[in-house]
Structure 1
Amino acid sequence: MKTLTPKKPAHKANWHKVDLHIHTPASIDYQCKNVKYIDILRQASKKNLDCIAFTDHNTISGYKQMKDEIKNLELLE
């Protein structure tokens, strides 16, 4: 009987910290009226998130507004 030797994985698995349920001010039922797009980015950074996903209701306009906010931040660098 042939002995099998376990192979080493081709690459290491990595963990990523994500939040897959974030609403933006573009969502019609957004409850945090005083929280702006920059605040969402700051909070994600503070929590060391690698990725966030918007789950706004019936709109994708929050995506463009967040993209514009990020572009403005890049101009400041």
Structure 2
Amino acid sequence: MGLNHSEETHKRLVEKVPECTGREMTEWFKLMNDGPSFSRFDDRVRWLSSEYALAHGHATAIVHEYDLVKAHRRMG
């Protein structure tokens, strides 16, 4: 499925993640690194949502941002 909202909406969600979840993005990235290695975007979103009781929008934003950061590291 992938990202279903605009990049502007994504940016706003990412900014609110720490306030709404009680964890910084770096903490979420570590949890994703240490968690199951799902290759599909939707599987990772479902895992975060169910494992950490996250709203779907926040889980989607975390996974998308994680992918962006990871891709940027590979290119840099």
Q: TM-score range by the shorter chain?
A: 0.3 to 0.5
Structure with the larger strand share: 1
TM-score norm. by structure 2 comes to 0.37
TM-score norm. by structure 1 comes to 0.37
